[in-house]
Chains A and B, each alone.
Chain A
Amino acid sequence: MTSRIHPPASPPPPEPPGASDPDDELLPCGRLLSQVWADREEGTSDGHERTCPHCRRAVEELDRLETAVRGLHDAADDPAASYDAAPLTQRVMDIVRMELRPGRPLPLAPPPEDLWIMETAAARTLRAAAEQVPGVRAGSCRIAPEPDPAERDSAERDSAERDSAERDSAERDSGTGRVSVRLGIQALLSASEPPDLPRLADAVRLRVERAADRHLGLRTATVDVHVTDLVDADGPDPDPDPDPDRNPDPDRNPDSNPNPDPDRNPEPGPGPADAPVPDAPGANVPDGAGNSSGKGTGR
């Protein structure tokens, strides 16, 4: 490797990868190898490399590497083309099912009866009921016990000072035995039929109320249906990923950490009762669609 210290003949672009990199090399034509490769990668050219044998050879080396890489990946990927995800999925889910997050208990009868169903199980039934309505896909489904009106005032007053566990136990002890449901749905749009969101929301509400009553024995006080997204039934979704930067990354490695613990497991998250309730991660809510929901009162 040559180690001359002359600057490159042309001024470097904003981010030369290794102007001061000891692995870099000044080609006999006066250009840095890193620059020649960066130009090649980004497709920028001032015509020099077409006539310069040194630059051409440097580029050929890179091409050769890329050919070899393709060979490497073809070899490695061959089995992956038909990768059977079932065994891996099974292993993951076997462990997940031992670490369920069942949500909060919901009363199946007013006090002093002591019959409960867990929120996650109830939500699955209600989502399935909502999806009986054609053109509907169910997303978020939160179900909360309806507090007893007589105690609601004091509960609201105190709630800021009590943690959720206490609040949950207070709800178990009192309450009306009814629940309030908040359901987010995607409405599938078809080109032939104009959407009628209020009617759709009504139909969903009816199904949910009926399923809660008949299949679960849950008595609903309110069922709020929110249309969180309108999806073209015939085409792909628009890009739902405006910013990939802000989710928790359990394995994030700051480069500065020389001794990361490869087996570091994150603490289990906070209880689902306290988890934030996104309407739909990454969902695009078209103008006017987000709140075209119905808000209804069962019974």
Chain B
Amino acid sequence: MTGDRTSAGPPGGGDGPDDALLTVRAVEGDEEAFAVLVRRHAPALVRLATRLLGGRAEAEDAVQDAFLSAWRKLPEFRGDSAFGTWLYRIVTNRCLNILRARKPQDPLDAAQEPAAPAHTVAPDRIAEGRAAVGDLHRALADLSAEQRTCWILREGDGQSYAFIADTVGISQQAVRARVFRARRHLTNALGAWR
């Protein structure tokens, strides 16, 4: 189900009302139902926004704004997509706006570089991995807002080109071109290409 893109809560049956039911209630102004939806979807959306923006605090602000925007738009929500998918879109576009508004080469990106992971990578690749993460982070800052967003949705979140095209509002071909350019730039940055 599409809601799984943001690892939605119980799809039904299990514990508590499903997203569809809670959304109907929220559309009718039931803020308690909306609160459950917020709690359920916030972790995945914060993770997405953190990937897109590079920093947790800014990501949380973007997600908060997205939820408020959704609350205000809910009376028009017609239930054509799952709540999680709808919010995924809103968060992505809000982050895209923020990235566009950033000055190029925002030094924050370098400052917020996370520590390299010490697990999940095979031991013989740890050193290479650490260096690569640093390189990658610096190179990410060079990408345009669109390249970065398309690439992160594709590479980081495994979304289809069709989904990204819908979400960002450009053609699939344009998405493919941006993902390609991002990969080209990032592989170059990762070291000796040739």
Contacts and interface: CB of A to CB of B under 8 A. Distances in A.
B20 A251 contact: no
A262 B101 contact: yes
A240 B20 contact: yes
A97 B68 CA distance: 11
Contacts, number: 332
Interface string B165-194: 010111011101101110111110011011
B173 A61 contact: no
Interface string B127-154: 0011011011100000000100000000
Nearest to B31: A96
Interface residues on A, range: 35 or more
Interface centre among A62, A83, A282, A283 (most CB of B within 10 A): A282
Interface residues of B, number: 105
A17 B80 contact: no
Interface string A51-80: 000000100011011111111111111111
A93 B19 CA distance: 18
Interface centre among B19, B81, B191 (most CB of A within 10 A): B81
Contact of B51 (A76, A239, A254): A76
Contacts of B70: 250
Given A65-B187, A68-B133, A260-B100, A127 B25 contact: yes
A18 interface: yes
Contacts of B185: 23
B104 interface: no
B133 A21 contact: no
Interface in A242-299: 242-255, 260-262, 265-272, 275-283
Interface of B: 1-3, 11-14, 17-21, 23-25, 27-32, 34-35, 38-40, 42-43, 46-47, 50-51, 56, 60, 63-64, 66-83, 85-86, 89-90, 93-94, 96-98, 100-101, 114-117, 119-121, 125, 129-130, 132-133, 135-137, 146, 155-156, 163, 166, 168-170, 172-174, 176-177, 179-181, 183-187, 190-191, 193-194
7 contacts: A38-B176, A74-B117, A76-B114, A120-B29, A244-B163, A247-B77, A250-B72
